[in-house]
Amino acid sequence: MSATIAELLAIRLNEALANTDFSSGLPEGFVARVEQAQNRQFGDYQSNAAMVLAKQVKRNPREVAAAIIESFEGGEVSEKPEIAGPGFINFRLQTGFLEGRLGGLLDDEEKLGVSPSGTPQTIVADFSAPNVAKPMHVGHIRSTIIGDSLTRIASFLGHHVISDNHIGDWGTQFGMILWGWKHLLNEDALEADPIPELLRIYREVNAKTKEDEALRDECKNELVKLQGGDAGNLAIWERCIALSRIGLQKIYDRLDVKFDLWLGESFYNDRLAPLVDSLLAADIAEESEGAICVFFPNEKQLADKPALIRKSDGGFLYATTDLATIDYRIEELKADAVWYVVGAPQQLHFDQIFRIAKRRGQNAELEFIPFGSILGKDRKMLRTRSGDTVQLADVLEEAVERALKIVEEKNPEFSPGEKKEIAEIIGIGSVKYAELSQFRMTDYIFDWDTMLALKGNTAPYLINAYVRTRAIFRKLGSDFEPGGTITFTADAEKDLALKLAQFAEIVPAVLSDFRPNTLATYLYELATTYHRFWEACPVLKEEGAVRETRLALCEVTGRVLRCGLGLLGIKTTEKM
């Protein structure tokens, strides 16, 4: 199935427009669009083309709509459209067409009607990016989970995606860590759990430097030695990186998040000085009070906000590293697009480096994909009772523990192994879905009771809908076998078939504005539609074509829920 329902209706709508008596008055290049209906009471799809065109052709919108409908040929797809309100054109799909769509979905087990992107790209996705020698905190949830979902969806649509964990492995904090390693390190604690020990020594040294200027100078000297290639300091630094990666990988494994590359800030060190020289040579950068800056005199929002790319003491900055990173991604990785899934406060930084890249003639699509904050129930930044930032590992562990209690209450007959496996899926999935069901720019409240609820727009509700689809086949005693006749005999069947067919429209739409919540909302609507079907339409009690049709609807619903949740990075379970 190449064209979606909306595309098929739009083709017929535009053909009808071309046959109206006012077709010569249409704006050049005008293409009428068809959208899913907001209220199914009036139809399955709708278009506001008549209202858009009314002024152009100097007619009443309802009159324009009537002329379009007169020329419209729905064929096997749609019944004759209807006019609603000020001039909406509403479409109702033919039952036979929907039956055919369901049959097509049964045959397309891998893609479920989703067509690959017409122009596949090489996309570098930069997300998560924690600092080395520090534990990941709750704030990393958003970048990590949103970025992972977007890469899954882009890959599903046929793009070549390279995920890059641009870790913070170079910077002023390493001067303190190096001094602390040499003077305060507890080797036993390091072996037992390296990241907390590295964090401890960093915090201790950081506190001491605020009162001891001589110690600040010693830490700076340790950093200078590292940057100068001192063998001893490089060996400590390399061990810090290795130990930190082990700790980070444990969290990524639990989240089922994978990266193709781990190219941290240090990877680009040798590229920074030549980059600054090239910007100076091209008259893009200039010296200002001993520092090297890029000014934006013709950019209203940036006119008084220059980008600093080399400090007066010769040190480089994030902007320098990010510009070198763009060079590498375009020149070496051959990226057509680079996505940065980073918190909203970094807007200015990315505005600056994207404009500099444009001045340099770099034409890759550079996308800043920002997000808001996670709040506690008090609507303030989520923190522990002691005021510390909540660690991500603790969040995941608590999610699984809470899920396990629910599983034990609901299903005491399950084996310990089953309970543990289901709790892991439900707990991790709940944390992910709580994130992905929100518009990414929304600040949302982190609430355990809400995210683990079996009712409402939650991961447990969606996973339970999937479990119900599989329960039918457990009762049947066999998996679904295609080949039966599909015949709809109830409105609940047609409603479910339509919702299933719309999966092909939803998945590509996610990338148009980088909103995984679009897919999450669709899956919630699918689950509620399936539950209504479940209540209205007995399956195994029926016989013949009715039974075959309803089994097919259960099968495809299960496939779409499993696939859609998988695109959000959420696993499913056969029982819960």
Q: What local confidence, expressed as pLDDT, does residue 229 receive?
A: 87
Residue 358 burial (C-beta neighbours within 10 Å; 0-12, 13-18, 19+) = exposed
Give the DSSP H or E segment for 35. Answer: strand 35-36
Q: What local confidence, expressed as pLDDT, does residue 383 receive?
A: 66
Band of pLDDT at residue 351, cut at 50, 70 and 90: very high
Other CB atoms within 10 Å distance of the CB of residue 552: 24
Q: What is the pLDDT of residues 491-536, one digit of tens each?
A: 999 999 999 999 999 999 999 999 999 999 999 999 999 999 999 9
Fill in the amino acid letter for 255. L
Band of pLDDT at residue 440, cut at 50, 70 and 90: very high
C-alpha 443/C-alpha 571 separation (Å) is 25
Give the DSSP H or E segment for 5. Answer: helix 5-18
C-alpha 219/C-alpha 224 separation (Å) is 9
Q: What is the pLDDT of residues 37-96, one digit of tens each?
A: 988 888 999 999 999 999 888 899 999 999 999 999 999 999 999 999 999 999 999 999
Q: Is the pLDDT of residue 425 over 70?
A: yes
Residue that the structure tokens 């299960």 belong to = 558
Entry pTM: 0.93
Residue that the structure tokens 């082990």 belong to = 246
Q: Is the pLDDT of residue 287 over 80?
A: yes
Q: What is the pLDDT of residues 108-162, one digit of tens each?
A: 999 999 999 889 999 999 999 999 888 888 889 999 999 999 999 999 999 999 9
Write the CB contacts of 523 (distance below 8 Å, at least 6 apart in sequence). 462, 561, 564, 565, 568
Residue that the structure tokens 């479409």 belong to = 91
Q: State the average pLDDT over residues 319-342.
A: 97
| All structural domains of the chain | 5-93 (3.30.1360.70), 173-255 (no CATH), 263-369 (no CATH)
Beta pairing, strands 88-91 & 82-84: antiparallel
Mean pLDDT score of the chain: 93
Q: Is the pLDDT of residue 387 over 60?
A: no
Other CB atoms within 10 Å distance of the CB of residue 396: 20
Strand partners, 82: 90
DSSP secondary structure, 387-424, as one string:
SPBPBHHHHHHHHHHHHHHHHHHH-TTS-HHHHHHHHH
Q: Are 195 and 133 in contact (CB under 8 A)?
A: yes
For residue 312 the two structure tokens come to: 């007066």
